[in-house]
Amino acid sequence: MTNASVLLGLFVLPAIGPARMTLNVRSAPFVRVVATDYRLTLPTSLHAGLTTFRLVNQGRELHQLYLVRLSGDKSAADLVKAMKSGGPPPSWALDVGGPNGVDPGSTAPDVTVRLAPGHYAAVCVIPSADGVPHVMKGMYADLTVMQNAEQASLARSPDLTVTLQDYGYTTSAPITAGHHRLLVRNDGKQSHELELARLAPGKSPGDIPAWIEDMKGPPPAHFLGGVGPLAPGQENQLSLTLMPGHYVMLCFIPDVEDAKPHTAHGMIHDFVVR
Ligand SMILES: [Cu+2]
């Protein structure tokens, strides 16, 4: 699964978008990000425009690359401080996605994000077995996105759309085995994520949020990645290859009203790939 998606990603990325004759069109640049326990290694600055992120998890725990656009001169440390104090997400932080949680030793499917110029925090908010989110263990980094005269285009346009809502997922067509480019868009009123997992034999979708609570024993699923938290109206493209199996989409973001994870509000959607 992972190796296949990596190979396809490499194959697809250098291609130029169809019939785009503008001289300065190029395909989205590719950024490899390494996650360890507990560190995210990525460039400190990038150019604005479409950018494809590949997250390689070299740690022993689940990790994600969750990108947050900051306004008003805020830094990643300011975001961490705000997260520590709890309460609603700060108004100066905008969730813009990125590759979501992937198993230790695995590479997440590529995620393409349209980066606007400005300052960003890259974080991992997945908790350890002790319940402490990795961001509180130092797993955050600052990223500056610079103005860019060039325009990147998607190497290939999406073949499916996954819409995130309060609270659920809608796909434009059934997801089949093979390679797909999913446009993942949040049409809800609060942030949502798409964590993609493949169930282990004999496990059911509800076993996943139960396991996340204390992370005791073997995980009931393989965590394949997906798209990290997206604010309302935000979208990412997810390029992945699926083999037949029983999959689940989940959103663990705490609700703005009751702070329960969205899985408790029904944001857990299983589907079978044939
Ligand atoms: Cu959600």
pLDDT per residue of the chain (274 residues) written in tens, 0 to 9: 334 433 333 333 333 444 443 434 467 899 999 999 999 999 999 999 999 999 999 999 999 999 999 999 999 999 999 999 987 889 999 999 999 999 999 999 999 999 999 999 999 999 999 999 999 999 999 999 999 877 777 767 899 999 999 999 999 999 999 999 999 999 999 999 999 999 999 999 999 999 998 899 999 999 999 999 999 999 999 999 999 999 999 999 999 999 999 999 999 999 999 9
The first and second tokens of residue 14, run together, are 């250098």
| Separation CA 274–CA 272 (nearest Å) | 6
| Separation CA 89–CA 191 (nearest Å) | 10
| Separation CA 122–CA 203 (nearest Å) | 32
Measure 150 CA to ligand 1 centroid, in angstroms: 34
Sign of CA dihedral 6, 8, 10, 16: negative
Measure 158 CA to ligand 1 centroid, in angstroms: 22
| Separation CA 70–CA 86 (nearest Å) | 17
Measure 194 CA to ligand 1 centroid, in angstroms: 8
Sign of CA dihedral 144, 149, 150, 153: positive
| Separation CA 167–CA 72 (nearest Å) | 31
Which value, to the nearest 10 degrees, does the dihedral of the CA atoms of residues 142, 42, 156, 162 take? Answer: -60
Measure 101 CA to ligand 1 centroid, in angstroms: 15
| Separation CA 247–CA 79 (nearest Å) | 32
In 3D space, the residue among 251, 244, 86 whose CA is nearest the CA of residue 184 turns out to be: 251
The first and second tokens of residue 156, run together, are 């290939």
| Separation CA 13–CA 192 (nearest Å) | 27
Measure 142 CA to ligand 1 centroid, in angstroms: 25
